[in-house]
Amino acid sequence: MAATQQEARSCARTPKRTNMASFNSNEWRAICDKFTNAQNLTEIESRNDPENDPFRSKYKARELLREIYCSLKNFEAGEGEEEGGGESGDQRPTEQPVDGQREDLFGQGFSGDSPAGLRAAKLGAVEYYLGVNHVDTEELPAGQEHLMNCMKLLERCRVSSLNVSLFIHVRNQLGILWAGRDETETAQGFLETAESIYQRYMKEDGSPPTDMTEYFAAEESLLTHQERIKRFELAYTHTMYYLAQVYKNLGQTERAATYCHTTLQRQLQLNQFTPMEWALNAATLSQYYITKGRYMEGRHCLSAATVISDLAGEVPSEAAAQENEAESERREHLRQKRAEIARCWIKYCLNLLQDAKKQLEDNIGELDTDRQEELKRARRREEEEEEKGRKSALLFGSEDTFDSIASIEEKVMCLFPLDFTEARSVFLVGQNHVTQAKDYFQMDGYVTDHIEILQDHSALFRSLAFFEEDLERRCKMHKRRVDMLEPICNDLNAQYYLMIRRQLMFELAETYNEMMDLKLALANRQADTQSLDNHTIKKFNHLCSASAKYFQMFLDSLCSPEGKFPERLEEEVLRPALVARFRVARLHSRLISTSPTVQLDNLNKSLENYKYVVQYCEANPEAGATVETELELSKEMAGLLPLKINRLKARMASNN
């Protein structure tokens, strides 16, 4: 309140005019010049303010706005207007007006086009600009006070073409202010009212509304109808943008995505966007659509992101970056943002392959050929629905970009791939973006990001392998996964990257396990005509031992510094640890050896791990629900293995 009271005292010292100034008078032109100077200080001069006085220009602009406010207050009220029309500047209610308090902003109050309405709009505009000024200089309470004063002045007027822009702008600013304080529902109220004002105005009037800057412009400086429309639509676009953030913070993700999509489309239509910022927002939105299985929309967002990001220009060369600091910053910015967009493309391809796999796999995780044929027969209908969906969807682009976006969309499918050829086409798009992402997010400087990209690359290979019918080629794909993850896992510092190493160890263990199963399947095919040769046995045992080694490394990482395994497992490692124990048990029992002593040792290790799973779940019954299948098999094997061990011991005794 202090800021407004200061202005009131300042205005009180200025004698009131006897006649309202003419719009063509020198006095009015002086006000217009002050306003122009204030705008220039705020929008242009402030960019060059020194670091030790960052708000110098905005403080100067504030003084000019205060002078304008006093001049307006001292003009005599027009005919038919109550003298108290502008008193909100120095008298504020105990309780602030609640947005939307008056039921009908369009049907009550005096006309927005009347002298009283014009005076209220002008005073309200100055209050608005003072409010924004105080918010910009981090004086939020004073900023809020001025913005609410603007609201109170407008409460007396009906919405019209003269003031509708101000009605929306002030609510946008209050929405931002309250959202910044984490008062999301309060922000929501202001912004939703701004939205409804826009929609009703466009329905009932729709004429190009006066922009607030025109309140203080000479007649020859008034905006064209086209420029008025553009500014008004941009204000509403900001409303959409802020509402998207509000709905996201309220957990209304679908609504947030809809508003975000609309915002992006409007920014393109109005040609009011920064290419890389727009592209990254579109790519981020794609991730929401992907999680909902809406791959057509996700692909469209990513294709648009790729096209619009190109509008930012070429990445400066390394040589140019070394010579010029601005070029260096530009090179870093463009490379980073495009790498982030590439990562969104990777997620698109990976999720599409993984969701297709879920559609096609049987109860043991293999390709269900009957289901595959069924889905292929349904493909034509899906393609027709996709085309209908495209026609009803809100598509990005203008005449300049629409064809470019469509061209990129044609290079990657949005329907589930149903065979290896289709899956490979999706895989290759993902792999190309892996290369682009890794070029920026290198191991030196971006350890976590680089490894996450490698893990996604590994997952792409794993998903593609599902579609490969040739077991030997499938095994080679898993070998590629091992080759990219194993060196990283072994080189990482265990102290600083413990969680990442655990992820890598578990994945490597599972990958070796899958390779072992494939080798066994191949061996079983050969066993029809010939017995297993030594080379095959050696290879099988190597894969089996490697899988057990990485599972054991994972388990060892859970131990205390003294090497003691925890008596009670933390929730986040409960299932992985019990699964690792189960797998180690299974792997030891599958090792092939001609030595009875080695066989006995392997069976004892297997039994020990099966019994651990059973005993842990007996001591902690809630753990059983996380590993139901593994627990059932562990109980069965814990009962059978002692018999097998005893038979082996008896055979060994009889041979001695």
pLDDT digits (tens, 9 = 90+) for 493-543: 988 999 999 999 999 999 999 999 998 888 777 655 457 778 888 999 999
What is the rounded CA–CA span in Å between residue 451 and residue 491?
Answer: 12
CA distances from 248 to 80, 184, 245 (A): 47, 10, 5
In SS3 terms, 209-228 reads as CCCHHHHHCCHHHCCCHHHH
pLDDT > 80? residue 96: no
User: What count of Cα atoms within 13 Å lies in the side-chain half-sphere of residue 514?
Assistant: 25
In DSSP notation, 326-390 reads HHHHHHHHHHHHHHHHHHHHHHHHHHHHHHHHHHHB-TTSSB-HHHHHHHHHTHHHHHHHHHHHH
The better pLDDT of the pair 448, 79 is held by 448
**Residues forming beta bridges with residue 367, ordered by sequence position:** 361
Give the confidence band of 86 by pLDDT, cuts at 50, 70, 90.
Answer: very low
User: What count of Cα atoms within 13 Å lies in the side-chain half-sphere of residue 422?
Assistant: 14
What is the rounded CA–CA span in Å between residue 309 and residue 317?
Answer: 17
Mean pLDDT for the stretch of residues 429-437: 98
Q: Where are the alpha helices (DSSP H) in 75-204?
A: 115-136, 140-154, 164-180, 184-204
Do residues 478 and 511 make contact, with C-beta atoms less than 8 angstroms apart? yes
What is the SS3 assignment for 60?
helix
What is the rounded CA–CA span in Å between residue 534 and residue 512?
Answer: 19
**Predicted pLDDT of residue 75:** 66
Longest Cα–Cα distance of the chain, Å, equals: 126
Percentage of the chain modeled with pLDDT above 70: 88
Do residues 283 and 338 make contact, with C-beta atoms less than 8 angstroms apart? no
> 96: which DSSP letter?
P
In SS3 terms, 407-424 reads as HHHCCCCCCCCCCHHHHH
pLDDT > 50? residue 90: no
Q: Which residues contact 202 (CB under 8 A, 6 or more apart)?
A: none
Mean pLDDT for the stretch of residues 286-293: 96
What is the SS3 assignment for 579?
helix
Name which of 6-20, 49-63, 370-384 the model is least confident about: 6-20
pLDDT > 80? residue 204: yes
Q: Which CATH entry fits the domain spanning 101-272: 3.30.470.10, 3.40.50.300, 2.40.160.20, 1.25.40.10?
A: 1.25.40.10
Q: Which of 42, 207, 203 lies closest to 112 in space, CA to CA?
A: 207
pLDDT > 90? residue 122: yes
**Predicted pLDDT of residue 73:** 85
Name which of 4-8, 278-282, 508-512 the model is least confident about: 4-8
- Residue 628, phi then psi, degrees to nearest 5: -60, -50
- Residue 580, phi then psi, degrees to nearest 5: -60, -45
Do residues 163 and 179 make contact, with C-beta atoms less than 8 angstroms apart? no
Name which of 177-191, 355-369, 540-554 the model is least confident about: 355-369
Q: What angle do helix axes 253-270 and 275-291 make, rounded to 10 degrees?
A: 150
Buried b (16+ CB within 10 A) or exposed e, 553-577: bbbebbeeeeeeeeeebeeebbebb
**Predicted pLDDT of residue 81:** 42
pTM: 0.85
**Predicted pLDDT of residue 381:** 78
Give the confidence band of 189 by pLDDT, cuts at 50, 70, 90.
Answer: very high
Do residues 541 and 587 make contact, with C-beta atoms less than 8 angstroms apart? no
> 156: which DSSP letter?
T
Give the pair of three-digit tokens for residue 433: 């973006």
**Predicted pLDDT of residue 31:** 92
Name which of 20-34, 149-163, 316-330 the model is least confident about: 20-34
**Predicted pLDDT of residue 25:** 79
Give the confidence band of 79 by pLDDT, cuts at 50, 70, 90.
Answer: very low
**Residues forming beta bridges with residue 157, ordered by sequence position:** 110
Do residues 144 and 180 make contact, with C-beta atoms less than 8 angstroms apart? no
Q: What share of the chain is helix, strand, coil (3-state, %, to 5)?
A: 75, 0, 25
Mean pLDDT for the stretch of residues 640-650: 94
Give the confidence band of 4 by pLDDT, cuts at 50, 70, 90.
Answer: low
CA distances from 64 to 5, 73, 87, 575 (A): 17, 14, 20, 67
Give the confidence band of 88 by pLDDT, cuts at 50, 70, 90.
Answer: very low
Give the confidence band of 20 by pLDDT, cuts at 50, 70, 90.
Answer: very low
Give the confidence band of 22 by pLDDT, cuts at 50, 70, 90.
Answer: low
pLDDT > 70? residue 101: no
- Residue 110, phi then psi, degrees to nearest 5: -80, 160
What is the rounded CA–CA span in Å between residue 356 and residue 419?
Answer: 10
Q: Which of 499, 619, 631 lies closest to 575 in space, CA to CA?
A: 631
**Predicted pLDDT of residue 278:** 97
What is the SS3 assignment for 499?
helix
CA distances from 180 to 99, 185, 189, 512 (A): 18, 12, 14, 50
pLDDT, tens digit (0-9, with 9 covering 90-100), for 49-73: 999 999 999 999 999 999 999 998 8
pLDDT > 70? residue 24: no
